[in-house]
Structure 1
Amino acid sequence: MSAFVDEFVEDFSDDSEAEGDNPRRRNADFLYKVGLRLQDEIHDDMGEISDEDMLRARFNTYEDAYFFYNEYAKFKGFSVRKDHKTVVDGRTRRRRFICSCAGVRERKWTNLHKRRKKARRLTRCNCPAALNIVYDDELNMWTVRGFMSQHNHVLAPSGGSHFLRSHRKVSLSNAVLAQNLYALGVSKKLVMDIIISKSGSHAAAGCTARDLYNQMNRARVERIIDGDANLVNSFLEDMNVRDPGFFKKIQVNEKKQLTKLFWSDSQSQEDYKLFDDVLMFDSTYRTNRYDMPLVVFAGVNNHRHTVIYALALMNNETIDSYEWALKTFLAAMDGIAPKSVITDGDAAIRNAIENVFPKSKHRLCVWHVVQNAITNVWTDGFVKGFVEAMFCKGPPDAFEKKWAELLIEYKTVAEQKWVHNIYEKKEMWAEAYLREYFFAGCRSNQRCESINSVVRVCVKSGLSLIELVDKLLQKIRHIRYRDFEAEVNTTMTRSAQIPNLTLIGEQAEALYTRAGYEYFFKQLLHEPSYVVNESYEDGEDIIKYLVNRHMHPNAPATVEYNRENDAYNCTCKLFERVGFLCRHILAVLKHTHVKALPKSCILHRWTREAKSSSLDFGTNPTTSCRLGFGLRLKELEEYSRDLFMWGCESVQRCTMVKGHIAAFDKGEVAQGFDETPVPENPLGFEEEPVASTPPQSFPPDNIVDPQRDLGRRGGPRRAKRKMFHQRTSTRCGICHIVGHSRRTCPSERTGVFADVPPEVTSSRKAPTCSFCNEVGHRCNACPRRRKHQSTDSPIAGVVVTDMGDAYLHTQPNGDVFWSLKH
């Protein structure tokens, strides 16, 4: 302590005249400066503080006194809690801080009858250690009136104070970091590990894992304290203020409970106006604590990336609910209906599309169709023939021929109800009936499923509505960032592959986006294998060319050229389905010495100019000061990172940086500073600048949160684990008799079932193998099937079908599996 006194006596000796002739005031200021110095180097010099030094300490506020005493307790090895205070005329005049071991637990809690939980361990032992402070009106400061440094218990060992309660606190920066990481789907345990790694040690983190979990849970509860539905509505209204083109619609029932919610921002609406030809429509379950299905409206842009048009939440999946969603979508998109729609085949969705989009071509997702075929008709070979008929590239007559041959080969399957029902919908899934309709190369709604999968990864035990909306906005921002990256890559890079038709290839590369050119380049690679065998005129303006693959003259494709409008049409219908010229038309262009792609053969939606306006992902410096708390913190951390990196290069630099930070006086800096409060985003930590217009208030009638006891749909819920006394008796998997397992089954040793009483046998039928038709085992455990699979090559005879976003592999025995494109 003497070292500090000697140092500060020299500093204050010259200023004694300026302070006036008040020794008491001068002594108080002197001791207060000593207290500040002690707080600056609290961990190095707390051991030098004596009881007399504590009695002479002065503080501006009692919060400063508590902070100083708590740091003193941290160095000594005990915890502090606030005790008695005296309030006079509305002002606090006395405060008492005591050791956390002061007092004793009341007997009614120690002798509690019918206790449900185990009693917590005792921590209080009447410890007398305490610090009493009073407010001195003459000094306008808090002075120490009493101090007791003795304890009647063992203090915490060195380095163990961070486990004590008053020294455990989740800092604001760690709270912001934890919320951001948890919002991205990082588990709580991993969040704590990241904070420990960032701080350097468990002690430097300042909190335990339980403290962090409790703080994160409190933040979630406090966030929706005024109602989850109200918070979502307020947040969407605030987005409407920032984005004038934002569209939102909410529906409530007679109890004012939220039943339906729909929203779409101006960027999504602009994307739909540019790429309104294909709409993928899908719903998913268990994305929120209210079990409201999430409906995703998605499409494909010129980079062949997924683009989100709108999102909706509904309380059920009836025809009326889907019609409401589709009509609202139509109203948000200025009444523009899509040309084609892809869904999973749900009956309610199908009927709603027929009523709202009567002129749109409806297609069923091929993935769901194949999965339904595997589930309903598990017969070896049928699924393979079903897939071949589905992707038949010929006209409808060719499909009908393949279908008839398939039913003749599998007569038992032909009588099943599912086969009849799926045949009635053939125009919605058979390629022969869909080859003249544009679907942008999409055969499934897996783009919607990919978004749903991202949401499912983040869902743990059920999200609130505002958390779900936050995660969806993060996904949309990520999708748009990928589009911006693809646009930059398209502009700044060129293909290294040299096409066969050099002039047409160069024109296509300058015309199409990077992804579009890669798709078109595949047709350029196959073009040399095709030749024009014959050409003839069919009328005054029509010329037809017969194009076939080299050494395959029996399967020609017919290319029709119209002189009047300079248009080409091929029987493969690739341009009608996808929007790119096929290899047959390219062969005709080479045969007729055409050096450039005709305008009629260029689909504008795949070109670079299809989306003229690009997104700006930079931060506007003029609006950075109006960002939310989270982004302001990130911005300041970014600015200070260079300073910290410079300070870490040597001990002297580190000491200098610490000294500047310690000398920072917020009161002096903020003096005369006019601070205008910025309205915060309801989400707490914003991701976008806030407009100058304040957010709209809640509607006069608050919206009530949806019900949470709705019936579930989708996959089955996990069965609750039963207690031991609730479990049923063991049933054998071989003879299906209750009382033993297949490991101890007597029939396995004797091979007889004659003496088994009928009352103990199972009422269920024994399983029948669909491969060998024998009773006693299933198809996946059939020894004959395993032998058959081991003798056959897993590669020979496999049919690979391009599904747009994935490949479907069909083995000779009927098994199918999927592989994603890279």
Structure 2
Amino acid sequence: MSFGSEKEITEYYKNYAERVGFGVKKISSKKGDEGKMYFTLACSRARKYVSRPKNMLEPNPITQTQCKARLNACISLDGTTKIKSVFFEHNHDLSPGKARYFRSNKNIGAQMKRRLELNDQAGINVSRNFRSFVVEADGYENLTFGEKDCRNYIDKVRRLRLGTGDAEAIQNYFVRMQKQNSQFYYVMDVDDESRLQNVFWADARCRVAYEYFGEVITFDTTYLTNKYDMPFAPFVGVNHHGQSMLLGCALLSNEDTETFTWLFKTWLECMHGSSPNAIITDQDRAMKNAIEIVFPKARHRWCLWHLMKKIPEKFGSHSDYESIKTLLHDIVYDSFTKSDFMTRWENMIECYKLQDNEWLKGLFVERHRWVPAYVRDTFWAGMSTTQRSESMNSFFDGYVSSKTTLKQFVEQYDNALKDKIEKENIADFRSFNTVISCISHFGFEFQFQKAFTNAKFQEFQLEIASMMYCHACFNRLEGLDSIFYVTESKKVYDTMKDIVLMVFFNEKDFVLKCTCCLFEFKGILCRHILCVLKLIGKTDFVPSNYILARWRKDIKRRYTLIKCGFDNLAGKTELQRVGKACDAFYEFASTRINSDDDLVKVMKLIQNMKIELPCNETSPRIVEEDCSTQNQATILDPKLARSKGRPPSKRKTSIVDQIVKKKLAQKKTKKRNQSSKNIQVQEEGQCTSRGQEIEDEVFYISQLGDRIGTQESIQVNKAYTKYFSVNISM
């Protein structure tokens, strides 16, 4: 029997093996004296296996049984291939129903590969990809590959796409992005061994966006994103919708003053030397030192949420813990002036004898960095915590994990950023296309409705709605300023509490100021000022200086014209061609193939087209264009800093979180111990009896497998002569 090529006869024998129920592998190939090529295709269980386990008590599973079933063939000088001999008999059971698990019978089609690659680029994990294949194929048994095969293929594609080394891969990635847009900025910091230490980058879009929203930023390093435990350090601002936006980011190997100083200087250079007016960080001394060095004029604030979160840790064992916690909360959040805060703080210290508490001493010395009464006179764009950075971090949760390599991270970072920008574009469209109705007849509400984005207008409407809880009255006149007292009824826990604030109004210059400082802090007029305007009958409009440009929807911002991401990948044109063809055929097959006769006609047309069009052996694949240069220094991967064991979580846990986690674990352990009291375990002779149980289980499973294989082999024996009912040339 003759075949056109080695590939053709191999496929023929594989098809036979799949029907019969065994795997195939090529075990030998040699060239004869006459120039002919001889090779052997054999059962995958051929030859003898020599087990060399590292642990003698854990031997490796054996598949080889020295099976003699095989096919010997010869390739002639003209390229034709002939079967020389075939041995049918196997020395093991066959199982057609399980033939799809053999490596030789596994195959991922071109369309499946394309979907895997595109979904991997989009950050969709392999498990979800494979489950979609199972649903589409109507069951696992209809697939010619498994989830592990998909993982192996994606790993191979990633190596082809991004290279082998992490540091070298991201270097080439950054070079490629800078080639596409010269305004892309990156710096890679290496040690004396040319090993990557820190890396910073910012795309052209966020560099321009900084011109509009860079006066206030948050900075946070508590997010672990990769297998090297290098914290992700994003610079985050707020756009005109109040959404978090990335203004540059870094991966750091250390969190000391030197590293932060390098990063802040690099970021400042990236932003053309324009320093932010205000920065929010957590209570980190190294950050504080670096900010004083690089941004000496910037207002530095500590994250209030992180500080208040430490109260259970610092006072949990105190006999008056609940009272101290409630009082400290009231002092921090309800003190609107510095003098008020000082008085109430001193009373608390005296009342509970906390003069020797070192934590409170340190906080009091640095009160200008975290107490709202000391910082609310500065514009913070509504941010009081680093939760902006944390929300940006959580945005990356669907794309990266603690096992993510650096080369995967920079790729998924691009996808995550595109998603973030799309959300901003949607918010822009809604502010442009929809109008939120006014809830009052005040003229200034209509004024803000036309100017503000929908999100910010809704925040302003909340202040209007809250006017019902406020009562304003004139108190006195000091020079040109009229002073009003505004009493606000505020719900604290389950009780109502009255808070008195002062509003100053200069009618000549139409200057308004409230002791709550909401406008100075957030850029939105507070309910107290609005209540005073209602009292004096000034509700038609407010001066334009109270409508901040950063919240307006009618401003064309230059950064929105800059495309995010640089995905000009080699092979993209080919992928687009294949995609268009697949879409067209899917639409055709869904609407035109209505019977078996239609299917036969279409398959004949496809066969004819295969003859007419030349075959491309390699399917199009997403690969990076080579942007490396000869003079580009080789950078080594970062050092692995993680200890043995399970990879850490993406978020660094505080002591409070650790305590809570420990308590929950203890509770579960106690519950398990209680439920196991009725279980009686026979200690004597346990080891030997358990060993016998394992042997019995293994024997039972092997016998069960033999019985299944034997039942299926009844039909297999009939297939031998049926498939090879041909004259074999010897």
- TM-score category (smaller protein): 0.7 to 0.9
Contact 1:85–1:92 (CA under 8 A) maintained in structure 2: no
- Counterpart of 1:470 in structure 2: which amino acid? E
| Structure 2 counterparts to residues 44-59 of structure 1, below 5 A | 55=1, 57-59=2-4
| Structure 2 counterparts to residues 520-531 of structure 1, below 5 A | 520-527=460-467, 530=470
1:510 to 450, 460, 464: 450
Q: Per-residue CA shift, 1:238-261, capped at 9, x if unaligned?
A: 011112210011111111111110
C-alpha separation in 2, matches of 1:617 and 1:326? 25
2:287 to 349, 367, 372: 349
Contact 2:504–2:512 (CA under 8 A) maintained in structure 1: yes
Q: Is 1:702 the equivalent of 2:634?
A: yes
Partner of 1:417: 358
- Segments of 5+ residues of structure 2 without an aligned counterpart are 490-496, 656-665, 667-672, 677-730
Q: Is 1:384 the equivalent of 2:326?
A: yes
Contact 2:202–2:249 (CA under 8 A) maintained in structure 1: yes
- Counterpart of 1:289 in structure 2: which amino acid? K
Q: CA RMSD in A?
A: 3.9
Partner of 1:431: 372
Contact 2:43–2:69 (CA under 8 A) maintained in structure 1: no
Range moving further from structure 2, 186-195 or 351-360: 186-195
Q: Is 1:585 the equivalent of 2:548?
A: no
**3-state DSSP class of the match of 2:221?**
strand
**TM-score normalised over the length of structure 2:** 0.78
2:346 to 389, 404, 411: 404
C-alpha separation in 1, matches of 2:120 and 2:204? 28
Q: Is 1:62 the equivalent of 2:6?
A: yes
1:151 to 89, 94, 106: 89
Cα pair distance change 1:277/1:562, threshold 3 Å: farther
Cα pair distance change 1:429/1:475, threshold 3 Å: same
**3-state DSSP class of the match of 2:613?**
helix
Q: Is 1:468 the equivalent of 2:400?
A: no
Partner of 2:418: 477
Cα pair distance change 1:161/1:526, threshold 3 Å: same
- Counterpart of 1:270 in structure 2: which amino acid? V
Q: Which has the larger radius of gyration?
A: 1
C-alpha separation in 1, matches of 2:581 and 2:563? 16
**3-state DSSP class of the match of 1:664?**
helix
C-alpha separation in 2, matches of 1:603 and 1:81? 72
- Counterpart of 1:335 in structure 2: which amino acid? G
1:235 to 158, 165, 173: 173
- Segments of 5+ residues of structure 1 without an aligned counterpart are 1-54, 683-689, 718-732, 734-740, 745-822
**TM-score normalised over the length of structure 1:** 0.70
Cα pair distance change 1:425/1:696, threshold 3 Å: same
Q: Per-residue CA shift, 1:645-675, capped at 9, x if unaligned?
A: 225654444444444434432762579xxx9
C-alpha separation in 1, matches of 2:356 and 2:52? 74
Kindly state the Cα deviation for residue 312 of structure 1 after the two structures are TM-superposed: 0.6
**3-state DSSP class of the match of 1:447?**
helix
- Counterpart of 1:516 in structure 2: which amino acid? K
2:540 to 584, 587, 595: 595
Contact 2:470–2:487 (CA under 8 A) maintained in structure 1: yes
Partner of 2:688: none
C-alpha separation in 1, matches of 2:291 and 2:87? 79
Partner of 2:15: 71
Cα pair distance change 1:445/1:635, threshold 3 Å: farther
Kindly state the Cα deviation for residue 446 of structure 1 after the two structures are TM-superposed: 1.0
Contact 2:257–2:287 (CA under 8 A) maintained in structure 1: yes
C-alpha separation in 2, matches of 1:280 and 1:171? 47
- Counterpart of 2:408 in structure 1: which amino acid? E
C-alpha separation in 2, matches of 1:299 and 1:234? 28
Cα pair distance change 1:616/1:635, threshold 3 Å: farther
Higher helix share: 2
Percent of aligned positions that are identical: 21
Contact 2:570–2:622 (CA under 8 A) maintained in structure 1: no
| Structure 2 counterparts to residues 176-255 of structure 1, below 5 A | 176-178=114-116, 189-219=127-157, 226-255=164-193
Contact 2:213–2:550 (CA under 8 A) maintained in structure 1: yes
C-alpha separation in 2, matches of 1:342 and 1:503? 36
Cα pair distance change 1:646/1:573, threshold 3 Å: same
C-alpha separation in 2, matches of 1:601 and 1:441? 15
Partner of 1:560: 505
C-alpha separation in 1, matches of 2:613 and 2:405? 43
Kindly state the Cα deviation for residue 632 of structure 1 after the two structures are TM-superposed: 6.4
| Structure 2 counterparts to residues 133-148 of structure 1, below 5 A | 133-137=74-78, 141-148=79-86
C-alpha separation in 2, matches of 1:458 and 1:584? 44
Range moving further from structure 2, 65-74 or 262-271: 65-74
Kindly state the Cα deviation for residue 149 of structure 1 after the two structures are TM-superposed: 6.3
Cα pair distance change 1:528/1:205, threshold 3 Å: same
Q: Per-residue CA shift, 1:231-282, capped at 9, x if unaligned?
A: 1000011011112210011111111111110000011111111101210000
Contact 2:484–2:532 (CA under 8 A) maintained in structure 1: no
C-alpha separation in 1, matches of 2:265 and 2:75? 69
| Structure 2 counterparts to residues 306-385 of structure 1, below 5 A | 306-378=244-316, 379-385=321-327
**3-state DSSP class of the match of 2:80?**
strand
- Aligned residue pairs: how many? 641
Range moving further from structure 2, 432-441 or 471-480: 471-480
Kindly state the Cα deviation for residue 519 of structure 1 after the two structures are TM-superposed: 0.3
Q: Is 1:84 the equivalent of 2:28?
A: yes
C-alpha separation in 2, matches of 1:269 and 1:299? 12
